[in-house]
Amino acid sequence: MLKGRYLYDAWNGRMSIMARPELTWFWIRDRDPFINISLSYPYVTVLWHAPPDLGIELAGAYKTTVWSTSASW
């Protein structure tokens, strides 16, 4: 899957579009979903389908910081 996200920075008025590719792996057991594992930029998600109608999700992300010089700062 390829997601696109529109970002607007209210501090300095910058607008950008970020592409976020995602790869998801599904584990099906006895014709029912068991676990989904998703890797995307910059997230990792594991979703466990606990029976009968409960899903438990664990997600994590790594922090990214972009430094730039600016006359307004």
As a whole number, the mean pLDDT across the chain is 88
Residue 14 lies in a domain: no
User: How would residue 11 be classed by pLDDT, with cut points 50, 70 and 90?
Assistant: confident
> What's the pLDDT at 12?
87
Total count of domains within the chain: 1
Check: CB of residue 36 under 8 Å from CB of residue 50: no
Residue 15 lies in a domain: no
Which has more pLDDT, 11 or 23?
23
What whole-number distance in Å separates Cα of residue 69 and Cα of residue 71? 7
Residue-range definition of the domain harbouring residue 58: 22-62
pTM (two decimals): 0.64
Which has more pLDDT, 70 or 6?
6
Average pLDDT for residues 2-26, to the nearest whole number?
90
